[in-house]
Amino acid sequence: MTAKELRQSLRRGSFVYPFLGIQLFAVVAMAAEFQLGHAAESSEYTGALNLWLLASSGPFWMVVAAICLLIIPMSGVILMGQELEEGNHELLLLTKLDRWKIVTGKFITLWGLCALTFVSLLPYVVVRYMVGGIEWWHEAACAGTVLGGSAMISAGAIGASAFKRTGVRVAVLALFLASMVAGCAAPLLGIGAQSGRCGWIYHFTALAAVVCYTLMGLALARSRLRLAIMAYEVQPSGMIIGLLVFAPFVIGLVTAVTVGWGGALGLIGTAIVAVRMDVTPKAPQWMPPPPPDLPAG
């Protein structure tokens, strides 16, 4: 599944043209930084998922963010539609692939394109560090923001792509992004304010935020692959959307109760709920299979 999606994605213009364009823009942006004498400012809050740090790091990182956080991840809004509209997901589920493997394969493909594009820019990062006097920890923090943010946005785009109508896709993606910003801001700001810097607890919270919202985006896409829903069951995608709405409040409450130190617990708990919310009903192993309904005679 991953190999098929990766082969198709590498041929799309949504990857080829941005990949070539970012190389040109990276050279221009880096030259502009050297010409303007832009230098990274030292800060105690140099850590991953710090959007202010990324925005204030000069034209180079702004170009990287535009490509790896917007253009390539947003191309994922068409991925699940190809499987659902043509009924390919029904054939895939008849194989050894389950719903998690299908959505994970698409996520690895899309996020892999973002990571591949970012890795191609590492020589420019090294040049900026050697020539421009940029702090290596500052560059590492911006890299973590780009890779972590692209993972969350890619998962959200895949989840939104599982809906048929374009307007619904846009609305679901907007809800996901709003929930992601609000749900990540509370624990990160809380731990940053309490610790006064971006230490290991801050980065553990940032990692928990990336895992939480990546799993929620994939869980949303997975919920749309259900072939049948029992009469007593609630619509799985509706439950995930409800989780997106209430997740920032729950995470913020946990952060407030723990006085800013335990926001990661709210993120981890939300991730577990997202994974377990849509569980396919299965008969226990001790129950024998029903007898075949064969015609008499």
Residues 6+ apart with CB under 8 A from 51: 145
pLDDT in tens, 238-271: 899 999 999 999 999 999 999 989 999 999 999 9
Residue 296 belongs to a domain: no
Whether 244 is covered by a domain: the verdict is yes
| Average pLDDT across the chain, whole number | 82
Predicted local confidence at residue 254, as pLDDT: 94
Instruction: Give the count of domains, the chain.
Output: 1
| 139 falls within a domain | yes
Whether residue 159 is contained in a domain is answered as yes
Which of 82-86, 155-159, 196-200 has the least mean pLDDT? 82-86
Domain holding 22, by residue range, is: 2-277
Checking if the pLDDT of 109 tops 60, the result is yes
Structure tokens at 73: 């991840």
**What's the confidence (pLDDT) of residue 218?**
94
Q: What is the pLDDT of residues 161-183, one digit of tens each?
A: 988 888 999 999 999 999 999 99
The pLDDT of residue 37 is above 70: no
pLDDT tens, position by position, 285-297: 777 777 776 676 5
Band of residue 274 on the pLDDT scale cut at 50, 70, 90: very high
Q: pLDDT tens digits, residue range 195-218?
A: 887 888 999 999 999 999 999 999
287 in a structural domain: no
If one compares 131 and 199, the residue with the highest pLDDT of the two is 199
| pLDDT of 20 | 75
Q: Is the model's pLDDT at 38 over the cut of 70? A: no
> Has residue 283 been placed in a domain?
no
In a domain, 293, yes or no: no
User: Is pLDDT larger for residue 188 or for residue 53?
Assistant: 188
Domain membership flag for residue 40: yes
pLDDT of residue 32: 73
Average pLDDT over residues 113-133: 77
